[in-house]
């Protein structure tokens, strides 16, 4: 086999992408069986997989994808109706394809037994016949197709090819009159033929088909070493094709069909067969190449160029840009304090270049949340079938962007949460009906940005976390619950080895997973909160940092200290008067645009003394869909800052996201606004 090692990485990258597309689209097909756009997307991905496998020489994979593609084509032509059993067969094929790909990653072998699955795929495909066999086998009395004119150069190329073992075929394709995509149907069939030989001449040209233009039949001359019966078998199952004729012929026969043309002079051998003129081997190759160039009328678009970069290099790039921002800020401060006007223009240019670098490095690091969740719909479908439950899995905010490191690491804890929600949260259909709920349960996974962090919520409308049941399980395991509130008792599900499942299943119940979830999220500098109501459902709220090192911020004074507030969460800034604070039960509120919102004095929260003669300001921040008013002693100015982690030793400081270095070399802490606004006071 040809050495394709140089293309293996590209093959795996594109194969993973197409398998992900197939899993997503087949899942959508089950919900929308008549959506032709979904069928087209599936067919394109399957066709691409087959082509890549064949190019790499992976015959087992190519055979399986070919069988899957044929079945998709019959679904597309409404010869087979989409059913739950058919979808399961598709998913079984995708699972086996995934297994083949994983084996190829390890030992470059795709030698798996696919005979049973391919047989079942063919069995389903054989339930109907797409084309009339008598038409396919060329048993009609005459050929009604009109073929392209053969020029002298074409005839010479055909003769040279036939002397090398090729057959000449006249192919006629007639698409059904009521087809909505005539050109596309013919184009797919022509593409399939090209896998087994070379097209010499075609009418209409390939580029016209690519543009969707087709009014009549498609006719072409085709050179191949494959026997006619093999070509017929390979093209069987083409959808919306009214007639397909593949006729083996010779140049002389074609000339006899056109008596007004001059026949090509051929010498006849003693055996009666045409004795083709002798051609120099080098000339044969040149003539064949001419024929191939004539057959390739398609326009090629330049491929998008990409390059792989190690993530550690991107991290190093980000750190260098961060340091550049710090020193640019220091230079700006020095220039301002010493009134160095001659530095104004160079610093402006440095600032512009630095901003462009910042945007570039941040874009390089960002990845949509969809990259982490795209495999979940298929997983939830299989999980619902395994558990005998009806689950509607909904995702929102898939376009929300996170640092690619976070995206790659958050998948594992989300899988644990989803499996527990499906097993422990959502009830059986009959139980839901008795409880007055819809038969189908809902699990919703959403993500949305909040300042310089992303909030991921996982919500189900199941039976919720029963504090009494958790309390009993904790007592059996020797965990004390004395003095704990119901909310604190519910949080015990994250205790190592804790489980309330009465029966251990393949899904959950072994007391592992939830503690690993909390540990993994903590390792990402994130937090997880639980809100559950018995009989209503459970919501897990995960707060994740974007891990972006450069943000816009507002520097404020609280007492004698300077702090930074991420500008992304700030809604409005106003002067504050004590008369605007309205005392209420357990706190104060602030009137803002006709709304009463909680008032938080940052100095009191951080236990800092108020500055003397402070001109206090109130900063209205938006956390999720809720507003809070933060009272600070003074405003300094807006500043672009570089976030530096506090380190493990200071992880317990929940009021701070990190620290930054100011232009004068001083250190400024960055406030964790979400924690300050939502953290309950100790009682």
DSSP string, 261-311: SPPPP-EEPTTSSEEPPP--HHHHHHHHHHHHHHH--PPPPPPPP-----H
* Cα–Cα distance, 29 to 39 (Å, whole number): 7
Query: What's the pLDDT score for residue 299?
Result: 39
Evaluate whether 51 touches 106 at the Cβ level (below 8 Å): no
* Cα–Cα distance, 55 to 74 (Å, whole number): 25
What's the CATH number for 311-367?
A: 1.10.287.560
Query: What's the pLDDT score for residue 56?
Result: 78
pLDDT score of 181 more than 70: yes
Q: Where are the alpha helices (DSSP H) in 441-557?
A: 467-476, 486-490, 514-523
* Catalytic-residue membership of 47: yes
Domain boundaries, the chain: 5-125, 133-295, 311-367, 374-545, 550-678
| Percentage of residues in the chain having pLDDT higher than 90 | 8
Query: What's the pLDDT score for residue 308?
Result: 65
Question: For 446-472, what is each residue's pLDDT tens digit?
Answer: 998 876 678 899 999 999 888 888 888
Query: What's the pLDDT score for residue 136?
Result: 38
Q: pLDDT-based confidence at 510, cuts 50/70/90? A: very low
Residue 662 vs residue 193, higher pLDDT? 193
What CATH architecture is 550-678?
Beta Barrel (2.40)
pLDDT score of 487 more than 50: yes
Evaluate whether 392 touches 442 at the Cβ level (below 8 Å): yes
Question: For 281-315, what is each residue's pLDDT tens digit?
Answer: 444 444 334 344 333 333 333 444 566 677 677 77
Is residue 282 packed enough to be buried (19+ CB in 10 Å), middle (13-18) or exposed (0-12)? exposed
Of the candidate ranges 13-27, 332-346, 392-406, the one whose mean pLDDT is the lowest: 332-346
Question: For 331-371, what is each residue's pLDDT tens digit?
Answer: 887 887 888 877 878 888 888 888 788 778 777 777 888 88
Mean pLDDT of 636-665: 75
Reduced DSSP (H G I as helix, E B as strand, rest coil) percent helix, strand, coil of the chain, to 5 = 45, 25, 35
Average pLDDT over the chain, rounded to whole? 77
Evaluate whether 52 touches 11 at the Cβ level (below 8 Å): yes
Q: pLDDT-based confidence at 630, cuts 50/70/90? A: very high
* Cα–Cα distance, 683 to 671 (Å, whole number): 23
Nearest alpha carbon to residue 354 among 578, 205, 550:
550
Question: For 28-82, what is each residue's pLDDT tens digit?
Answer: 888 888 888 888 888 888 888 887 887 777 888 888 888 888 888 788 777 778 8
Query: What's the pLDDT score for residue 454?
Result: 87
DSSP strand pairing (561-566 vs 667-671): parallel
Query: What's the pLDDT score for residue 538?
Result: 92
Evaluate whether 130 touches 74 at the Cβ level (below 8 Å): yes
pLDDT score of 551 more than 80: no
Structure tokens at 613: 């003669």
From the CB of residue 205, how many other CB atoms can be counted at a distance below 10 Å? 14
Residue 613 vs residue 102, higher pLDDT? 102
* Cα–Cα distance, 621 to 450 (Å, whole number): 10
* Catalytic-residue membership of 420: yes
Query: What's the pLDDT score for residue 498?
Result: 67
What's the CATH number for 374-545?
A: 3.30.565.10
Check 23, 70, 420, 452 and give the catalytic one.
420
Check 47, 416, 424, 592 and give the catalytic one.
47
* Cα–Cα distance, 580 to 567 (Å, whole number): 24
Please say whether the dihedral angle defined by the alpha carbons of residues 125, 126, 130 and 131, taken in this order, is positive or negative: positive
Global pTM reads 0.53
Evaluate whether 505 touches 423 at the Cβ level (below 8 Å): yes
Check 23, 25, 66, 69 and give the catalytic one.
69
Q: Which CATH number fits domain 5-125: 3.40.50.720, 3.30.930.10, 1.10.150.530, 1.20.120.160?
A: 1.20.120.160
**Topology (CATH) of 133-295:** Alpha-Beta Plaits (3.30.70)
Residue 568 vs residue 3, higher pLDDT? 568
């Amino acid at each position: 086999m040809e050495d394709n090692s140089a293309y293996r990485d590209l093959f795996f990258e594109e194969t993973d992408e197409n398998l992900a597309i197939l899993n997503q689209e087949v899942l959508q097909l089950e919900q929308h069986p008549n959506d032709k756009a979904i069928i087209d997307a599936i067919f394109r991905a399957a066709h691409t997989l087959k082509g890549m496998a064949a190019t790499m020489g992976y015959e087992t994979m190519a055979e399986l994808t070919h069988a899957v593609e044929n079945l998709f084509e019959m679904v597309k032509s409404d010869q087979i109706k989409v059913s739950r059993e058919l979808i399961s067969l598709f998913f079984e094929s995708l699972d086996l394809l995934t297994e083949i790909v994983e084996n190829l990653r390890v030992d470059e072998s795709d030698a798996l037994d696919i005979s049973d699955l391919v047989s079942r795929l063919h069995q389903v495909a054989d339930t109907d016949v797409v084309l009339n066999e008598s038409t396919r086998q060329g048993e009609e009395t005459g050929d009604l197709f009109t073929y392209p004119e053969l020029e002298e150069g074409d005839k010479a190329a055909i003769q040279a090819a036939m002397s090398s073992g090729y057959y000449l075929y006249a192919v006629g394709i007639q698409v059904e009159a009521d087809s909505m995509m005539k050109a596309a149907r013919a184009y797919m069939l022509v593409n399939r033929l090209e896998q087994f030989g070379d097209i010499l001449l075609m009418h209409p040209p390939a580029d016209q088909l690519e543009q969707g233009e087709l009014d009549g039949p498609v006719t072409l001359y085709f050179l191949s070493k494959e026997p006619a019966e093999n070509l017929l078998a390979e093209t069987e199952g083409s959808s919306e094709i009214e007639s397909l004729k593949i006729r083996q012929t010779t140049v002389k026969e074609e000339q006899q069909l056109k008596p007004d043309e001059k026949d090509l002079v051929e010498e006849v051998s003693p055996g009666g067969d045409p004795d083709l003129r002798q051609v120099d081997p080098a000339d044969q190759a040149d003539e064949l190449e001419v024929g191939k160039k004539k057959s390739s009328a398609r326009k090629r678009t330049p491929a998008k160029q990409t390059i792989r970069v190690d993530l550690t290099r991107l991290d190093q790039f980000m750190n260098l840009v961060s340091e550049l921002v710090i020193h640019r800020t220091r230079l700006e401060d020095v220039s301002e304090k010493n009134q160095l006007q001659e530095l104004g223009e160079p610093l402006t240019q440095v600032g512009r270049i630095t901003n462009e670098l910042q945007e570039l490095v941040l874009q390089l690091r960002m990845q949509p949340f969809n990259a982490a969740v795209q495999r979940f719909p298929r997983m939830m479908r299989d999980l619902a079938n395994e558990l005998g439950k009806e689950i509607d899995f909904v995702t929102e905010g898939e376009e929300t962007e996170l640092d690619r490191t976070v995206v790659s690491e958050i998948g594992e804890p989300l899988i644990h949460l989803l499996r527990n929600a499906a097993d422990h949260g959502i009830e059986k259909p009959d139980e839901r009906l008795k409880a007055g709920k819809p038969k189908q349960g809902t699990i919703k996974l959403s993500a949305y940005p909040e300042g310089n962090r992303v909030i991921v919520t996982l919500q189900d409308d199941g039976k919720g976390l029963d504090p009494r049941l958790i309390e009993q399980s904790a007592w059996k395991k020797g965990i004390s619950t004395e003095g704990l509130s119901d909310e604190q008792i519910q949080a015990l599900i994250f205790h190592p080895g804790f489980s309330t499942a009465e029966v251990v299943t393949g899904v959950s119940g072994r007391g592992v997973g939830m503690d690993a979830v909390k540990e993994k999220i903590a390792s990402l500098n994130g937090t997880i909160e639980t809100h559950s109501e018995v009989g209503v459902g459970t919501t897990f709220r995960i707060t994740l940092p974007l891990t972006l090192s450069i943000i816009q911020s507002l520097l404020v004074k609280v007492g004698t200290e300077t702090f930074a507030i991420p500008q992304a969460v700030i809604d409005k800034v106003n002067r504050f008067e004590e008369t605007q604070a309205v005392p209420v039960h357990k706190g104060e509120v602030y009137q803002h645009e006709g709304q009463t919102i909680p008032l938080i004095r940052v100095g009191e929260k951080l236990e800092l003394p108020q500055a003397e003669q402070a001109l206090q300001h109130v900063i209205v921040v938006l956390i999720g869909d809720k507003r809070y008013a933060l009272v600070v002693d003074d405003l300094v100015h807006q500043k672009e800052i570089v976030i530096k982690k506090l380190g493990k030793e200071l992880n317990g400081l929940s009021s701070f996201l990190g620290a930054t270095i100011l232009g004068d070399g001083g250190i400024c802490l960055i406030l964790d606004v979400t924690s300050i606004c939502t953290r309950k006071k100790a009682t």
